[in-house]
Amino acid sequence: MTVSEITPEEQTELDKALYDALNPLASAIRSRETGLPVDRMWEADPVEVALSVLAAWKVVDGEVKRLTEQAAATAGSYGASYEQLGAVWGITRQGARKKWPEAVSRPAPATAGKSRLALFGGTAELVQSPSGGWGWTGRGADGVSGTAADGAPYATAEEAAAHAGAFLKEHALDIGDQP
């Protein structure tokens, strides 16, 4: 998808819709600032009226930015990349990442969900399953291999590490020499 252009007719309709939406907001802002009724907003000093309109556009600009961030996050949640977001917005992939840093969820690094544990002369590897649970496989210093009991995953990496550590301690060559 590329940057969308609109026709002159669409531009006219968009302008009209935006002005129609802006008018009540500008009138309300002007009324609050002056105490004049909303229906008399346009009778005020032209500079003050123009500043009220500008203040209303500032509010609209903030809302458009908020809604834009929401749209980018929604697209990202459905799998859009920063490259795609940037193409639609007419900016680079890096520009899109800077503009909407939380829009696209980044895949976990390859090392996430895995870690190694070395204790009592043996080693164990902790591995997170796709369901989120943790398991382990290890080899003690005495050469005996082991895995998480019954393959049932543990709730946390720390719990799996504790069980793997107990296995490694049980299969150390000389427990008395270990710290």
User: What's the pLDDT score for residue 2?
Assistant: 45
Number of H-type helices and E-type strands within the chain: 5, 4
User: What's the pLDDT score for residue 173?
Assistant: 83
Query: What average pLDDT does this structure show over 127-145?
Result: 87
User: What's the pLDDT score for residue 31?
Assistant: 83
Residue spans per domain, the chain: 8-99, 114-171
- Return the structure tokens found at 172: 């150390």
Query: What average pLDDT does this structure show over 140-155?
Result: 82
Q: Give residue-wise pLDDT tens across range 74-133.
A: 998 888 999 999 999 999 999 999 999 999 976 544 445 688 888 888 999 998 887 778
Cα-only R_g, the chain: 31
Residue ranges of alpha helices (H) inside 78-150 are 82-89, 93-99
User: What's the pLDDT score for residue 130?
Assistant: 77
* Distance from C-alpha of 13 to C-alpha of 60, rounded to nearest angstrom: 17
What is the pLDDT confidence band of residue 46, given thresholds at 50, 70 and 90? confident
Query: Which DSSP state fits 39?
Result: G
CA 102 centroid distance within chain: 3
